[in-house]
């Protein structure tokens, strides 16, 4: 038996070896998926606050999307929201 650390084992990609965008098999949400989720969250009774602060798995299940879509929608909402000082950093 081997522990997977011998010289015949294939190398595993690391964050330094290949950026996420170039690695096959890495899920990347489509911009249209993110836009649909943001629109659905705005129309949802608990609003965008639920999207931003709700438990990741619950939010994904509520809107029927992958957790990666939720994470990317949260990032986009943070980038797009103005803060109270007039900047663009208002959401938690």
- pLDDT attached to residue 89: 45
Spell out, as residue ranges, where the chain has pLDDT lower than 70: 1-23, 83-92
- pLDDT attached to residue 46: 95
The pTM assigned to this predicted structure is 0.64
- pLDDT attached to residue 78: 94
- pLDDT attached to residue 82: 74
- pLDDT attached to residue 87: 46
DSSP single-letter state for residue 22: G
Q: Which residue has the tokens 């029927």?
A: 64
- pLDDT attached to residue 8: 56
Q: How far is CA 55 from the centre of its chain?
A: 13
| Cα 32 from Cα 63, distance rounded (Å) | 14
Contacts of 31 (CB under 8 A, 6+ apart): none
* Assigned token pair, 42: 């705005």
| Cα 20 from Cα 28, distance rounded (Å) | 9
- pLDDT attached to residue 15: 47
| Cα 79 from Cα 34, distance rounded (Å) | 13
């Amino acid at each position: 038996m081997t522990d997977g650390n011998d010289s015949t084992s294939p190398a595993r990609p690391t964050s330094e070896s290949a950026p996420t965008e170039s690695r096959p098999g890495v899920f990347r949400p489509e911009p249209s998926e993110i836009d649909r989720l943001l629109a659905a969250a705005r129309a949802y009774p608990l609003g965008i606050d639920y999207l931003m602060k709700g438990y990741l798995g619950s939010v994904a299940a509520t809107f029927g999307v992958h957790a990666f879509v939720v994470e990317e929608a949260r990032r986009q909402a943070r980038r797009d929201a103005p803060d109270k000082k007039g900047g663009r950093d208002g959401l938690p």
